[in-house]
Amino acid sequence: MARHRTRLSGLLDFVGMVPFAVSGTILAIGLIIAFNSGPLILTGGWLILVIAYVVRKLPFAIRSSSAIVHQLDPSLEEASINLGVSPSKTFATLTVPLMASGLVGGLVLVWITAASELSATIVLYASGWVTTTVVMYHAIEGTGAGLAAAAAAVLILVTAIPLLLINRRISKHETTVI
């Protein structure tokens, strides 16, 4: 069972949380150093931005998944396995569906924070791949307050729509008991 605390799980938890301690600018500089030469050159492209966002926002997904899996009662999995269901099938058909709310919540949190990321983006972006946060930053630096406001409105929509969709889905499944 993956929910038991061991030294390895503690170490993996610590390593997964390291991006919280590293600033986005430092992470971006490290990615530039790592991917600016050699067989795999990613600087100046969109893929290095995706890598930065995944690494930078990974702790949100880890904490959300970890929190939900530790809330599940282990007896559910034990009962399934005792009834002859394989551990992998138990995980796929029982544990993952029970974890769905935590996974979705973590993904939404990752999406919202990645969409508004500026510190790593400002170092890594290339002229062909400009994000809304970079547009807002450059507009505020100059005299484009209107452009910054428009980009901020787009960013608000991009981050609010997933929240509204999840809220709508949750309210559909809620039932009241009298």
Q: Which two three-digit tokens encode residue 83?
A: 């009834």
pLDDT in tens, 68-122: 888 888 899 999 999 999 999 999 999 888 888 888 888 888 888 888 888 898 8
pLDDT in tens, 12-50: 878 888 888 888 999 999 999 999 988 888 888 889 999
Q: Is the pLDDT of residue 175 over 60?
A: no
Instruction: Compute the average pLDDT of residues 134-142.
Output: 87
Q: What is the CA radius of gyration of the chain?
A: 21
* Listed residue (132, 106, 129, 159) closest to 48, CA to CA: 129
